[in-house]
Structure 1
Amino acid sequence: MTPADEPDAGRTPVRFANPGLPAHRHRNADVDPKAAKRAERQVLAMLAISAIGSVVAVVAYFAIPLDGSFATLQLSNLSLGLGLGCGIFFIGVAAVHLAKTLMPDTEMIDERHPQRGTEEEREEAAGIMTQGGQESGLGRRPFILGGLVGAAALAPLPAVVLLRDLGPLPGDSLAVSMWEAGVRLALDPSAEPILASDVTLGSVFHVIPENLYESDHFLDEKALAAVLIMRVDPDVVQYDPEREGWDVDGIYAFSKICTHVGCPVALYEQQTHHLLCPCHQSTFDLTQHCKVIFGPAKRALPQLPIAVDDEGYLVAQSDFLEPTGASYWERERG
């Protein structure tokens, strides 16, 4: 650079010529037919694994019985997770490997032009798309094309089969739990019955029906029947004549399942008497019979009417008088 070319504060900065693109480096599959065949077999194997994974997920869904034990639940979750994961993951890996090893990788420059093109330009664009399809090599590699179609066709199958559990509407099936008159309130998870005298002012207990583990599907039943009990000064609770006699000397029982999307409401603020759902911060006020005071939930936590039996244990007076859990289904009883 001569002194006349040197940039300074009063001159236009020196501009360098465009060096252009570096020399194109061919891949092994571009110059070696054996390498191309090897890459083709690898892509086909990945697509086959994807298809097998999708089939495994569907078979596991029907073949593994959920008998209420943790062992079968873990096996089902593991099988479904691995099957779905392989079905989706290996399609992506196959697509990446196909692009890196077999699809053309020559550099091209596409000059910008107005978005709205003429008919001739549209025909030209269609021709480019057709040319791109031809250059991808899929037409000359029918096995990869068939594998891709097969894997892509099977990939949504597990979702279609598993998502069928979301319907139809549950109707009354979610409106009835294991709570009924005389069923004792028990500690979760020991199932030891709770004496009313053990529930002190300001305390909170996670509660299940005493007979929960007698059910063959106790995990499903627990999702409907989980309860929190708290003891507060009865004078701080706003009196509701329709719920007279539902508590025992300030011991209140409410569903533990948030009415937003069904997360467990497990946080109790003793000083404010608020119950908090940790998922989306819905807040329920115990002094107003767990009315929603903040967050996305739209209805109060259902209250379980309770009493004391002859031995001093807390028992349910009946089932909940409304369905527990999230509010996105029909809540009217038949």
Structure 2
Amino acid sequence: MSSQDTSHTENLPEEQGKGAVATHDNPFADPGMPPHEHRIQDIDAKAAARTERTIALLFVISMLSTVAFIASYVAFPVDKIVYVWPIGHVSALNFSLGITLGLALFCIGAGVVHWSRTLMSDVEMVQDRHPVSADEDVRAQAYEDFRIGAEESGFGRRKLARNTLFGAVALVPLSGLVLLRDLGPMPEDKLRHTKWAKGKRLMNQNTMQPLRPEDIAVGSLTFAMPEGMSEEDHDFQVQIAKAALMIVRIQPDNIKDKQELDWSHDGIVAFSKICTHVGCPISLYEQQTHHVLCPCHQSTFDLADGGRVIFGPAGHALPQLQITVNKEGYLEAMGDFAEPVGPAYWERG
């Protein structure tokens, strides 16, 4: 047994085990604490070493369980069903995740409890209650008691148990990180792209017919979408939420922004229908001022001046789609929007 263990057993409080004796006048006297009984780990260094190895084994099992949790998350598909007796048919993914994560957490808890019950100091100290506000001497004694308790816990001396505990606790949070996969695939650059592409005709969203310049009168507002999209598509709502387009015709002399004029055709301009505040669809157009109003929070944009914001909480101008007329006389896109549509996000340049 080490010198620290010896000093621990030799310096036990003498008062432990002593108390008042019951008498006729005081039959319910406090008998005091029972005599302290040493554990096998306190008197046998080999037993203490075996216990430390057991604790370390629990922490190692926890680490392996965390690794198995991550491996199960990658290996099992969501729709795989297996038969587990006596439960029955269950999801292989859910079952493996539950078993491995539960085992990882259980082994950490069991290891810590076993450590505290077998290797840390178990001497019970009795102290009279005192006022909440302590004086300097009491605070100094508290700090000293904490220091002694830290030494007696063996946390610095039991390196095998301590290091495996650190490893188990460090690995367990990884279980939560891999669960982020369920939030869906990474967007990558999908937020920057829509269904618009060079050569795609502008389709009237009401009639589903391709638009010609003569179909759009001065002062009118027309909604369009890319050629090739259909309401029957499984992702139609997702795609139209980014590709929705509004088309207006303005007298070329009234267009203030040079790029807007270059990207238009005979005064026909095409802007994203999605408000750059929180993504509401814009539908209110005032032909005299060429302003469009978002009905959600009253953000107002000037379609004669590059779609810039003139009122409201929106932080960016409406993205413009460059258009032209093809050989058949239909309006078509010259490419995708030059910037992300809708609300601003951190990757916006």
TM-score under structure 2 length normalisation: 0.46
TM-score computed with the length of structure 1 as normaliser: 0.48
Higher relative contact order (CA 8 A, sep 6+): 1
Larger Rg belongs to: 2
